[in-house]
Amino acid sequence: MRANRYLRLTGAALLALTSAALTPWAWADAPPTPPAPGPGPGTPAVARAWPVGTHPAVLRGWEPPATVYGRGHRGVDLAAPAGTPVRAVAAGRVSFAGRVAGRGVVSVELTGTDLRTTYEPVRPSVRKGDEVEAGEPVGTVEATGSHCTVACVHWGLLRGDTYLDPLSLLPPWLLHRGPSRLLPVLGVPLPQPRTPRSAMATAASVISAGSSAAPSSIRRTAASTIP
């Protein structure tokens, strides 16, 4: 009996000691969750021109992949017939102009940023190291090498190895600008209709001839037509 009682007391003591040792850890505050990394640097709206045209149709937009090697669309496709001039959207320096996998590619590092734009398929008219201004041609759209169902140019934007949305380079006034409209001009007189030369010649001949056969109403009308 004494042995059993001793064992029970010993077990209870050990259990109490174990509980006391573990209690501080159990009731301690959980470690703070590390803050989520802040957003990366934004994309400055430094573009001053579209790569092609004045407001081309976007055939396919930017679709960032879920992973580095995942499926997606790393740029935007702009409708442009073969031979269309391709322009630098902002000032920069040409970092590449050549062929990649059979397609002509031009890449421009944008001045004052850590960004670079790419254009393909393009027949380059510039060389590596050339300085270009916004709106300056860098090549023309090639007839082959496009992944579009119709002729287009693929416009890309990268920061390092990370692809970004190229449309974010466009300021609102350029991104949302619609087609040109003719506005009314106030205060400018409208041009008056001119009498046809044939009528003026007839009137002049009638008056110069002084024909008495012509009715006076005709002579008055003819005289009123000459300015």
Q: How far apart are CA 99 and CA 225, in angstroms?
A: 70
Poorest-confidence range of 107-121, 132-146, 167-181?
Answer: 167-181
- List, for residues 134-167, the tens digit of each pLDDT value: 999 999 999 987 788 888 999 999 999 999 999 9
The band of 2, judged by pLDDT with boundaries at 50, 70 and 90, is low
Query: In whole angstroms, what is the distance from residue 170 CA to residue 173 CA?
Result: 8
Please report the pLDDT score of residue 25 as a whole number. 36
User: Which residues, 6 or more positions from 113, have their beta carbon under 8 angstroms from its beta carbon?
Assistant: 44, 46
Question: What's the pLDDT score for residue 81?
Answer: 95
- Segment 211-218 mean pLDDT: 47
Helix (H) or strand (E) holding 137: strand 137-141
Q: Rank 6-15, 37-46, 203-212 by mean pLDDT and report only the highest.
A: 37-46
Q: Is the pLDDT of residue 88 over 80?
A: yes
Rounded to whole angstroms, the maximal C-alpha distance in the chain is 162
Predicted confidence (pLDDT) at residue 172 exceeds the cutoff of 90: yes
Q: Are the beta carbons of 130 and 41 closer than 8 angstroms?
A: no
- Highest-pLDDT range among 3-17, 70-84, 190-204: 70-84
- pLDDT interval class at 93 (50, 70, 90): very high
What is the average pLDDT score of the chain?
A: 75
**Cβ count within 10 A of residue 97:** 22
| pLDDT per residue as tens digits for the range 39-51 | 346 899 999 999 9
Chain center to CA of 163:
14
**Per-residue confidence (pLDDT) for residue 28, from 0 to 100:** 40
